[in-house]
Structure 1
């Protein structure tokens, strides 16, 4: 008799557990994707700044190098702007590459995340 009373309870248990597990899984996946994109863009900005800091290179070269590195890994739609400029780093001439990007939400809810990363390098001198 007891087996008939519990018939169908597995479906209810599945629904209750999946309403907790699926959003948790999607949230962890979203955080992982965000960290991957942010770290990739940060590495590209740093590499672009180092490229532009070499003798006979300009900040425009670093900007182009950064765009090239990003386009090979991250979708171009995620990158809003790449800008490079000469700057002063602790009293030394340097180059700064800034990348403005965004991450759309993974699911159907929640706002997107906008972020900015920067890469810096001290400019080489011919002395």
Structure 2
């Protein structure tokens, strides 16, 4: 009995049979791997970029809110809130994110509040990513009013 797809005399797969490879496919797995790896790497760096930006934003908001709470106390001034905000940012992130911090007394929804504003550069992974500035605010009810 003859086996399908085999050369009758040698027992090797016949040309064009199911076990034979197509000519020119050698090395294509390496090219596929490189192309898919580059795509996965770019996707991974994008996720890391977004995660870093969200982390920095959360730390800035938390620091601004804590600085506003300090500045809103009856025995403190807005300058004390600026100093506290800068300390928290320098401790949690880096002092380069604490370069532009300001505080002022204002009203919000008819209530006296202290507002601390922080403007910082967006973090960038490597040379890729958005350039720009992120601005966040923290508010606390003013106890001196």
TM-score bucket (shorter structure): 0.7 to 0.9
- Cα drift, residue 76 of structure 1: 1.8
Equivalence map 1:85-104=2 (5 Å): 85-104=104-123
Q: Describe the SS at the equivalent of 1:72.
A: helix
User: TM-score, normalization: structure 1?
Assistant: 0.87
Out of 40-49 and 87-96, give the one that drifted further.
87-96
Q: Deviations over 1:22-41 (max 9, x none)?
A: 11111110000000000000
Q: After superposing the two structures, state which structure 1 stretch, 34-43 or 91-100, moved more.
A: 91-100
Counterpart CA distance in 2 for 1:36 and 1:84 is 23
What is the CA RMSD across the aligned residues, in angstroms?
2.0
Higher strand share: 1
1:62 equivalent in structure 2: 81
* Partners of 1:125 and 1:83 in 2: CA distance: 19
Q: Is the 8 A contact 2:56 2:123 kept in 1?
A: no
Normalized per residue, the structure richer in helix is 1
In structure 2, distance between residues paired with 1:10 and 1:85: 62
The runs of 5 or more residues in structure 2 that have no matched partner are 1-19
How many pairs align? 126
More relative contact order, 1 or 2 (CA 8 Å, 6+ apart): 1
| SS of structure 1 residue aligned to 2:26 | coil
SS at match of 1:107: coil
Q: 1:31 to 1:111 in 2, by over 3 A?
A: closer
Q: What TM-score comes out, normalization by structure 2 length?
A: 0.77
The structure 1 residue matched to 2:68, chosen from 44, 49, 66, is 49
Matched, 1:21 2:40: yes
Residues in 2 aligned to 1:114 and 1:108: alpha-carbon distance in whole angstroms: 16
